[in-house]
Structure 1
Amino acid sequence: MAFFGSSLASRSSLFLRLTYLDALKTLAPVEVQFAALPILLLLLWTLASIVLVLWSRSRQPGNSTPSPTVANSTGIVKVSVSTKVIGLSSGRIRSEQHRLVERRDSRLGVNLAVTMILLIPCVLLLLGHVRLICAIHDGYHAAERSILQSSDSTDLLDVFQVYQPVTFAPQGDNGCDLDLLLMEHVFGASYGEPFVGTYEPPSCKFDTVQINMTVTSRGRQYDRLALMYLGDAEVFRTSTAEPTSTGIVWTYIKEMSQYNALWQQQQKLIFDLGNIITDVYTGSFNVTLTAHFSYTKNARTADVILPISAKQSASNSSSAFTVPSDNTTVSYTIPAAASRAVVAISACGQSQEEFWWSNVFSEDTEDFTDTVGELYGYSPFREIQLYIDGILAGVVWPFPIIFTGGVAPGFWRPIVGIDAFDLRQPEIDISPFLPLLQDGREHSFEIRVTGLNITADGTATLAGTVGSYWIITGNIFLYTDDETSSKDLISHKSTFPLVDAPAPKFTVTRHLVPSKIGGNDTLSYSVTAERTFIVSSAKYSWSQKLSFSNYGSLNQQGYSQVNKQLTSGKVAITELGDKPTSSETTFSYPLLVNATYGITSNSLTIDAWMKRGLEIDSSGGPGISTYTLVSGPSQLHTTQSGKAQYKSVTGASSISWGNTADEFHGTANGEAYSRSVRAVNGSVVYDTQPGTKAVSVHDMTALGRGSVRSMLGRGPGNPASS
């Protein structure tokens, strides 16, 4: 197999050297220093001891004084000494010899004692780092075995997302303990042809549902977006990993009890994973979905779930909106018994909007057309808005998801990006709107996505639209209260909520530097934003306080780009009264990505590094949150960092390698969970999770996305799509 025009042997040698060096790079500097310290000390002291012993022996006197010798004709050596001299001097010589020997032995004893004293801590330090050293060598030898093995290996690379495992609560009395196969399907040429099945609820009592999704794939394929529906309501949004020629497998377990109101009834189950099979893109996705039903006296969940979707289940189709082209408005009559209402929004950018966090102002989209082509506009700021009867009810500033084909694929093997297997659904509490909604009439719900425009005076305003495109759905979770008196309902029906929604505050900068040889050389730009939002009724108050910043720069005529972004905020719902009670959630999404690409007549390279995170601290709220994914208080702090490279040569296979570290700390359902894992060139070289088996290096070729634009959002080629 050709590898950039080199032989398999040279490919193996180069790749193994990269593996070993990258394994060393992933170790913390302190660990490396302590691992080397005992060896260095031991070597230095041993050398010093040897030198001292040799020096002592060189100065050691003999047992007798040397005498002159004379050789006769027979070859026998005759010694001629004066016996009188020997007799007179022998006493003093023997005394001096004894003193020298005692002094030498004393020095050697001290040397030996000190050597033993130093040897003990050295041995302890070495033993303490055996795991570290073994991890390096195991990763190296795993790489060696994998590179040299034949290409028809049946081993599957186990890819995974680092997340807090879903706990299975003890079984309650007289309830379900049942596993049910929901789907087993191969998504080959499945674009526009989702899986459609019928779900029948178990006859036993249940309040807890967890699903196991296991996927295998082999060949070359894009990463794909997948949406699962019960009827018209989206209940799960995930994405695939990019397969290898030898195959991959992953399993994800998801809490689904928040949709109990849907699971209790017969449903049309639709799983939409649009895939395309060609001579080049050969990978199918074999997906198995299994649900576990149990009765655990779980947290209360919504009594009614109303989808904000295109409602296409009757035609066996996906019900997602495509924004900005679709009208996302739906209308419902809200029951008078509703005492609490929450809207969950599922949204992610695709194509021109996949890397929205790296977009530029629309005025700058043609700054580098001669080098990297047209850039995508509307700035790196995005706001998702919920409108009720045309009134702004709340906003979402989205998490910058990076799918497994994004930036450089070498980042995401075998550790996928944060939330890549389970995209969270941020929530907007619309309980303050209930007095407006409970009048027996239909009311409209609409979701919009907007970026920024720059006006003639250089200020920023909401654009009211974005590029193509975002995939959007939502669900309205209603909690009903049968004990709510009609008098209480009537007293609030004529009350409109008080909405305090000042325009967000934006600060923007942009600076374009022309090139001396024509065109432009650099573009620097920044956006900072702040928004507060409060809506109140007689019973509830919902508030949001949000902050955003993005500092971007394109250098080297657009070939190099860096973006540093931070989104943070606090949302709270307060139930008013004599003793007000509040539930609040704070979050932070730091992101730093630097990517440079280069093109020659027959090759393409990408060099990138990134650091990103997700932090959520929540005091909990009603039911099971679609955002925190649990009920009650929870904390989540996770970070990813790494470096990756990509290279493609015309007529040869492309390859991507890199190293990624993932740190996860979380608390949910009263249980704490932590995991630290590092991967180098497809091999797990360090993992704190007990019982984890090291993952071997697999084929780094046969990557899905084949153009710079599909991986970075700029450059030659076409953008990626779902």
Structure 2
Amino acid sequence: MAALDVEKRAVLAPPTRRTLPCLALFLGVLVTISIGAISRRCSEKTFLFTGYIGSQADHSHFRLKSQAVNSRSPTAKADETTSVTSSAAASTPTVLKTFEVAQPVLMPDGPAESDGSPRHGKDYSPEQCTVQLMRHDFAWSYDAPFVGTYTPPDCEFNRVVLNFSVVSQGRQFDRLAIMYFGDTEVWRTSTAEPTAPPGISWIYLKDMTEYMYFWKSPQKIIFDLGNLINDKYTGIFNATMTAIFHNADVLTEQAPPSDLIIPISARHGANNSVSRFMLPAENATNTINLPRNIRRAVFSVSANGQAGEEFWWSNVLQNDIYTFNATAGELPGLSPFREVQALIDGQLAGVEWPFPVIFTGGVVPSLHRPIVGIHAFDLREHEIDITPFLPLLCDGKKHTFTIRVAGLNSTGNSTSATPLTDSVNESWYVTGKLFLWLDDDPYSITTGDAPTIVSPRPTIVITRSLTTTPNGTNETLTYTTSVQRTLQITARNLKTQHYSSSSSSSPAASWSQSLRYTNNGHITAFGYAQVNNLLISGNDTAVLVPEMPFSTSTTTTTSPSSSSLRPNASGLSVYRAAYTYPLLCNSSYAVSPQGGNLSISAHLWQGKELTVEGPSVFVTGLEAFFSSRPGDDDGDGEEDGYIAAAGGGWWGRGALASRLETIKEGTAELRQSGDGRESIGWGEARQVFWFGVEASSSSHDHWRVGRREELYYREVEAVNGTVVEDLRRMKGREEEGGSEGWKRTVLADAAALVYA
């Protein structure tokens, strides 16, 4: 999904000087998916180099059902289970409903699936308090975003959910979209690629409660979705966005909405323009004078690669960009590693190793119809807690906040001293925000020692090997990239209105990160086939200053007046996030000598694991199940509100963490005539998604640590644009025989569905 329209208008030609995923992207808009006439041929294909899998991730446990490997089904009881099976052949064309599989969101009548799917046999209908924020057709819309106004509704609310609905038909690329309140980015999404009439549709429900600071007052809305229309690219995106407001007491550890949100952006909202920075062309820096009574601060970062950096994870080392110049063409460089850095006054405050989002035109478009890639409809932001910087930031002076993206620059024959770069290729779209929680006393001043930063140079190991034919033509390239980084920032003697550290020997606030990255790349067939096997993992921890006096409640509500920080046994509050991002992409293409006919095939395997505990800024998904709403809203004959329904089980006596595990795998192929007038593609994909609650490591009861319960499960498979199986469960239940028996049988099988 290239960012610039000059890229989008590229004329298709024999593939030269393109990386494999980019090539498939440009061809994707010409694909016609034949649902009725094409058999499930892609499942029978034998792709090149499927045996070349690195040691860091075992991909053998998850296969498409057509590959004759079936997963076991959990024995857990569920109060909502649906199974849908349909034929791969459609008698008449129908609108293709595309969707992203994600955890449910809390709506006025209880949990709702994020794709707007019906629950209990009836469609969801927004209740009472809604505001339409946008109704707009994005046709020729580069540098012409939608601009509107928002006025708060005349109702009481403490939760807000966006309903974003789109229809489109014709031929078009996938497009990036960003929503702003004035200068502040609040949501980043992308579009599906439309099909011939009657086209496609999708809905995405997005919980936006963390932006209550904006929702309580009038705002300028800027929604940027750059698109173009001409005689070839005909798809217009007809978009509607509605905000749904309601009240619910949510019993999770999510932080309450912040008192103040300050953008780190280009700040062009006053001119009705977009406020994202484009790196490396621009300097993503703001200079800001902050309030002096801050008790907690979080720097969130939103960043993704576009144009030549969309498939950064498949780039080669800088030494090798011309390796296949005589055959496949120049390859993008600066390594397949990227680090997004947040800096305060030039000092490193934290990093994000970005999740490799694959948009709906990426690799082969038929991989993503109708099940789009992980986070394609909801690009998530990364939280970096900067509370240890408060003694510096609350001194009444101006300070700089910078976002930078780095790669690796390996040149020459030596790979032993590979440095991080100060910039990367074109282009990265980045913005940031400061979420600030303030003391009640506006005259209070937060003080303490300057932060101590321990940030050793990352450990970087790269290798490369090249084989050539007898006549000297480069034939294969194998390269590996391994990076490790640790970061520790502490502040001592921190004093706010309600708290002062009890001992100078113990930090009052700290932020630490530990990250690992490996990527095994293998390019063969003179540059026409490529495999990348990637694994990113990380652990982020913030030890935070709680408000005094300490709360004795086992949970906190997400109302603006509640405390965001509940202390653990040591008297401090802890936020933790642990994440793992595996990816295996195996793609190849060929051009016939006569006529220039083109074929592309690919096998894509991608997953995500995420555990979050403590006062996170953004919603985790637990909100949909842990609310104290009374009554039976959804008609299932049971009291709603998860705590009430569950009867106060093992989860009711300590800290809870959200746990997400998902895997999506697909195979696809595309063929196009040499004149570019005819193309055809087929593909299949399957995704397994597990979401639940876990007793966190901060629990006072050590025997409970690690215990899990399933809250939402979905297993869905599609062939040639048609969903052929869709199994879902909402609100998993404990089996008879007690919690120990439930833990032993249900969780073992639930894990097997994801990993076996």
CA distance in 1, matches of 2:150, 2:72: 58
The residue identity in structure 2 corresponding to 1:685 is V
- For the pair 1:624 / 2:618, whether they are aligned, the reply is yes
Residues 1:392 and 2:343 aligned together: no
Larger relative contact order (Cα-Cα within 8 Å, sequence gap ≥ 6): 2
Pick the aligned partner of 1:655 from 654, 660, 680: 680
CA contact (8 A) 2:339 2:353 kept: yes
The amino acid that maps onto 2:68 is P
Q: In the alignment, what sits opposite 1:76?
A: none
Maintained 8 Å contact 1:585/1:617: yes
2:585 matches 1:590 = no
Cα shift at 1:465: 1.1
The aligned amino acid for 1:15 is I
User: Do 1:414 and 1:679's aligned partners in 2 also have CA atoms closer than 8 Å?
Assistant: yes
Q: Return the letter of the residue paired with 1:655.
A: I
Equivalent residue for 2:427? 469
2:314 pairs with 358, 364, 369, which one?
Answer: 358
Question: What does residue 102 of structure 1 align with?
Answer: none
C-alpha displacement of 1:414: 0.4
Question: Per the alignment, in what secondary structure is the counterpart of residue 139 of structure 1?
Answer: coil
Deviations 1:606-665 (A, max 9, x none): 111011101101113144348999997311101111111011113432222111010000
Q: CA deviation at 1:139?
A: 1.8
Structure 1: how far apart are the matches of 2:671 and 2:99? 24
Provide the secondary structure at the position in 2 that maps to 1:387: strand
* 1:421-500 matched pairs, under 5 angstroms: 421-454=377-410, 456=412, 457-459=414-416, 460-482=418-440, 486=444, 489=445, 491-492=447-448, 495-500=449-454
Note if contact 1:346-1:426 (Cα within 8 Å) is conserved in structure 2: yes
Counterpart AA for 1:667 = G
| Aligned pair partner of 1:681 in 720, 724, 744 | 720
Does 2:518 correspond to 1:549? yes
For residue 115 of structure 1, what is the aligned residue in structure 2? none
Judged with a 3 Å threshold, the aligned counterparts in structure 2 of structure 1 residues 297 and 480 are, in CA distance, closer, same or farther, namely farther
Q: Determine if contact 2:42/2:684 at 8 Å carries over to the other structure.
A: no
Q: AA paired with 1:201?
A: P
Report the alpha carbon displacement of residue 238 of structure 1 after superposing the two structures with TM. 0.4
Please give the alpha-carbon distance, in whole angstroms, between the structure 1 residues aligned to 2:302 and 2:35.
44
Instruction: Verify: 1:572 aligned to 2:541, yes or no.
Output: yes
**Residue identity opposite 1:301 in structure 2:** P
Closer, same or farther in 2 for the Cα pair 1:540/1:592, shift >3 Å? same
Root mean square deviation of aligned Cα: 2.8
- Structure number with higher helix proportion: 1
Question: Distance between the aligned counterparts of 1:233 and 1:671, measured in 2?
Answer: 35
- For residue 216 of structure 2, the aligned residue among 264, 267, 272 is 264
State the SS of the aligned residue for 2:38: helix
1:66 is matched with which residue?
none
User: In structure 2, do the counterparts of structure 1 residues 458 and 554 end up closer, same or farther at CA, with 3 Å as the change threshold?
Assistant: same
Within the candidate set 168, 172, 176, 1:221 is matched to 172
2:218 partner letter: Q
In 2, the alpha carbon distance for the partners of 1:330 and 1:33 equals: 52
Would you say the 8 A contact 2:277–2:284 is kept in 1?
yes
The answer as to whether partners of 2:176 and 2:226 remain within 8 angstroms in 1 is yes
Which residue of structure 2 lines up, in the alignment, with residue 562 of structure 1? 531
Indicate the residue corresponding to 2:157 in structure 1. 206
1:54-69 aligned at under 5 Å gives the runs none
Residues 628 and 508 of structure 1: CA distance in aligned 2, closer, same or farther (over 3 Å): farther
| 2:605 alignment counterpart | 611
Stretches of structure 2 lacking an aligned partner (at least 5 in a row): 1-33, 46-62, 74-81, 111-126, 493-507, 547-569, 627-655, 695-708, 731-756
Structure 1's 274 and 453: CA in aligned 2 closer, same or farther, altered over 3 A? same
Q: Aligned partners of 1:321 and 1:617: how far apart in 2? A: 30
Shift of 1:205: 2.6
- Give distance in 1, aligned partners of 2:37 and 2:131: 48
Contact 1:620 1:634 in 2 (8 A): no
Alignment check: 8 A CA contact 2:483 2:518 kept: yes
Q: In the alignment, which residue of structure 1 is the partner of 2:702? A: none
Whole-angstrom CA distance in 1 between matches of 2:184 and 2:283: 17
Match of residue 229 from structure 2: 277
User: Residues 623 and 401 from structure 1, CA distance in 2 versus in 1: closer, same or farther, beyond 3 angstroms?
Assistant: closer
Q: Secondary structure of 1:376's partner?
A: coil
Q: Say whether residues 1:415 and 2:371 are aligned partners.
A: yes
CA distance in 2 between partners of 1:229 and 1:668 (Å): 32
Which residue, out of 535, 545, 548, partners 2:489? Answer: 535
Counterpart in the other structure of 2:691: 666
Query: Is the 8 Å Cα contact of residues 170 and 296 (structure 1) preserved in structure 2?
Result: no
CA, structure 1 residues 650+479, in 2 after alignment: closer, same or farther (shift >3 Å)? same
* Residues 524/315 of structure 1: CA separation in 2 closer, same or farther (3 Å cut): same
SS at match of 2:336: coil
* Cα offset, 1:297, TM superposition: 3.8
Distance apart, 1:27 and its partner CA: 4.3
1:643 aligned partner, one-letter code: T
Report deviation, 1:518: 4.0
The residue aligned with 2:97 is 158
Contact 1:534 1:543 in 2 (8 A): yes
Distance in 1 between the 2:155 and 2:212 partners? 14
Q: Are the aligned partners of 1:427 and 1:626 in contact in 2 as well (CA < 8 Å)? A: no
Greater displacement, 673-682 / 518-527: 518-527
- 1:312 deviates by 0.7
The letter of the residue matching 2:356 is P
Q: How does 1:228-239 map to 2 (within 5 A)?
A: 228-239=179-190
SS in structure 2 opposite 1:363? Answer: helix
Give the 3 Å change call, closer, same or farther, for CA 335–282 of structure 1 in structure 2. Answer: same
Provide the C-alpha distance between the structure 2 equivalents of 1:250 and 1:203, rounded to a whole number of angstroms.
29
2:623 and 2:323 mapped to 1: Cα distance?
A: 42
| Structure 1 contact 424–626 (Cα < 8 Å) conserved | no
Q: How many residues align?
A: 564
- Point out 4+ residue stretches in structure 1 off by more than 6 angstroms: 19-22, 626-632, 668-671
2:581 partner SS: strand
Q: Do the aligned partners of 1:344 and 1:626 also contact (CA within 8 Å) in 2? A: no
Distance in 2 separating the partners of 1:12 and 1:295:
44
Write the mapping of 1:77-226 to structure 2, written as runs, cut at 5 A.
135=85, 138-140=86-88, 142-143=89-90, 145=91, 149=92, 153=93, 155-168=94-107, 177-226=128-177
1:413-455 CA distances to partner (integer Å, 9 max, x unpaired)? 0000000000000110000001100011111100000100125
Counterpart of 1:319 in structure 2 is: 275
Whether contact under 8 Å (2:139, 2:237) holds in the other structure is yes
- Contact 1:255-1:629 within 8 A present in 2 as well: no
Shift of residue 202 of structure 1? 1.8
Stretch of structure 1 that moved more, 570-579 or 521-530: 570-579
Output the CA distance in 2 between the equivalents of 1:327 and 1:628: 37
Cα distance change, pair 33–463 in 1 and its aligned pair in 2 (3 A): closer
Structure 1 residues 660 and 318: CA distance shift in structure 2, 3 A: same
1:673 is paired with a residue of what secondary structure? strand
C-alpha separation between the residues in 1 aligned to 2:348 and 2:623?
A: 26
Deviation at 1:581, TM superposition (A): 3.1
Larger Rg: 1
2:456 to 473, 494, 502: 502
Offset from partner CA, 1:279-337 (integer Å, 9 cap, x none): 10000000000001122245611110001110111111111000011011101112112
Instruction: Work out the CA distance in 2 between the residues paired with 1:32 and 1:235.
Output: 38
CA–CA distance in structure 1, aligned partners of residues 245 and 36 of structure 2: 51
Q: How many angstroms apart in 1 are the aligned matches of 2:401 and 2:72?
A: 59
Mapped to 2, the partners of 1:468 and 1:524 lie a distance apart of: 25
* Shift in alpha-carbon separation, 1:685–1:462, aligned structure 2, 3 A: same
Measured after TM superposition, the shift of residue 343 of structure 1 is 1.0
Q: Which residue of 1 aligns with 2:56?
A: none
Q: Which piece of structure 1 moves more, 589-598 or 205-214?
A: 205-214
Contact kept, 8 Å, 1:541 with 1:576, in 2: the verdict is no
